[in-house]
Amino acid sequence: MTRIMSGGVDEAARRADGEAVRGALEQLEAYFAGERRDFDLPLAPSTTPRGEVLRAAIVSVGYGDTASYGEVARTIGSSPRALGQACRRNPFPIVIPCHRVTGGTGHYSAGEGLPTKNWLLNHERHWSMSDG
């Protein structure tokens, strides 16, 4: 499962040659190779405690699965709109897998929008099915 750390990310971690950046690159490469399903990165915290709850709810949707905004929101006693706003503001697409949260008309703010969301979901389904 993606680890969400409290506290800020220090300046050394932000450097392109920093350990945190190298770790993120390695984990993303493994994800795209079908070798990693969850991330263990020192992410900056959400700006509010409620944001942390929303982020954790998004992370709880499993690799290769999808859940509607309403389904995920109900698990934490929130509204689909609040969850949608958290997805829209998600600074860590893929790592915080908002592409797994689906809605009626379909939106996705990362990459090329819906084609990116669909590609990520198909990628995860492919590797989920290849497991057995």
Active site residues: 98
Determine contact, residues 117/93, Cβ cutoff 8 Å: no
- 113 Cβ partners below 8 Å, 6+ apart? 107
Determine contact, residues 39/95, Cβ cutoff 8 Å: yes
Q: How many CA atoms lie within 13 A of 55 on its CB side?
A: 24
